Structure 1
Amino acid sequence: MQISLENPDQPDVIQLIDDLDAYQKPLYPPESHYGIDIAALSAPNVLFAVARDAQGTALGCGAIVVAPEYGELKRMFVRPQNRGQGIAAKVLAFLESEAAARGCTAFMLETGISQPEALAFYARAGYARRGRFGDYPDDPFSVFMQKAP
């Protein structure tokens, strides 16, 4: 498996994002969706990583939006048929390393209450629950987490 920073505006990556949306959208009301689109993922301050197998098939992705105060994890997803292989942990570690190399020392994220697997994954990766941050509203469907240096 190879993980690298890539442009998110690729057909197979767009499909990953569409699959993520198809999974998440039924879980929450529309006003509780905070995913960012392909244009936002292409911004200069966003590190977007893709995990690919030996044949070049996109297996998973994730992004960190690097801000002066912290990096925010966004759009983490691994295809269901590829889960349980440690891909998400490797993508997360890769993104944190790339962001740290650019001076980012704290990482935050928002995920949903209806995703226990994601909550457990982030907790295993050292993220702890915290109060809301940034421009997020006080949303009962949101869980906010942080990993300090």
Structure 2
Amino acid sequence: MRADPPTRPALRFDVVAYDDPESVRFIDAVQAFYVDRYGGADRTPVDPAEFAAPRGLFLLGRLPDAGAVCCGGWRRHTAASVAPEDRAVLRPGDAEVKRMWVDPAHRRRGIARALLAELERTAAAAGCARTVLETGDRQPEAVAFYRAAGYTDLPRFGVYRDEPGSLCLARELTVRSDPLA
């Protein structure tokens, strides 16, 4: 007789401020990872207000027995927010995924997949047509994860547009109308 697999505790997502102390703890962990892999923190300019409605969203994922275990957010690009040199790549209405991170003690449990799905769901509900992101060739795990999730290559954009190790990816979303967006 086979034993049933243990049930996975429900992951709950909370909308939080990008600069909330708990968010900052995770963002600092992401930046420390970048320092380890690339020799420096991410140079992409980030304004916490970009991750507040209606411009964006930032999430912490929580498990009942562990508290916060992951974070991630998206910020909406508009005609005014896209740099002239990126206009051939980025579109108004793109949601740029930033600061996706799962605490190492909680990896390999489907948390990253659930987080990305929630970021995509909320971006689509807010009227965004596509998610875009920038990662790097020193993060093969992230590249494989995003490609397995249906992301395809996009020309480089942002502060890393001229960096050969930069990889930009995109995925079209099913747009839903959201009266609160």
Give the TM bin, normalised by the shorter chain. 0.7 to 0.9
How far, CA to CA, are the matches of 2:38 and 2:119 in structure 1? 26
2:136 to 112, 120, 123: 112
Give the letter for the 2:104 counterpart.
P
Q: Could you tell me how far 1:103 is from its partner in structure 2?
A: 0.7
Q: For 1:121, what is the secondary structure of its paired residue?
A: helix
Pair 1:2 & 2:26 matched: no
How far, CA to CA, are the matches of 1:145 and 1:124 in structure 2? 12
Give per-residue Cα distances to partners, 1:45-99, cap 9 Å, x unaligned.
1211110011461100111111233111110000001000111111111111111
Give per-residue Cα distances to partners, 1:77-124, cap 9 Å, x unaligned.
000010001111111111111110111111111001100100011011
- 1:7/1:22 CA distance change after superposition, 3 Å: same
Give the letter for the 1:47 counterpart.
L
Q: TM-score, normalised on structure 1?
A: 0.87
Higher radius of gyration, 1 or 2? 2
Count of matched residue positions in the alignment of Structure 1 and Structure 2: 148
* Uncovered stretches (5+) of structure 2, i.e. residues with no partner: 1-10, 78-91, 174-181
How far, CA to CA, are the matches of 1:98 and 1:43 in structure 2? 12
Give per-residue Cα distances to partners, 1:30-50, cap 9 Å, x unaligned.
4x8245557355444121111
How far, CA to CA, are the matches of 2:50 and 2:106 in structure 1? 23
How far, CA to CA, are the matches of 1:83 and 1:41 in structure 2? 27
2:35 — aligned with what?
A: 25
1:81 — aligned with what?
A: 105
How far, CA to CA, are the matches of 1:16 and 1:135 in structure 2? 22
Q: Could you tell me how far 1:13 is from its partner in structure 2?
A: 2.0
Give the percent of matched residue pairs that are identical in Structure 1 and Structure 2: 37
* Uncovered stretches (5+) of structure 1, i.e. residues with no partner: none
Moved more, 44-53 or 132-141: 132-141
Supply the RMSD in Å over aligned alpha carbons.
Answer: 2.1
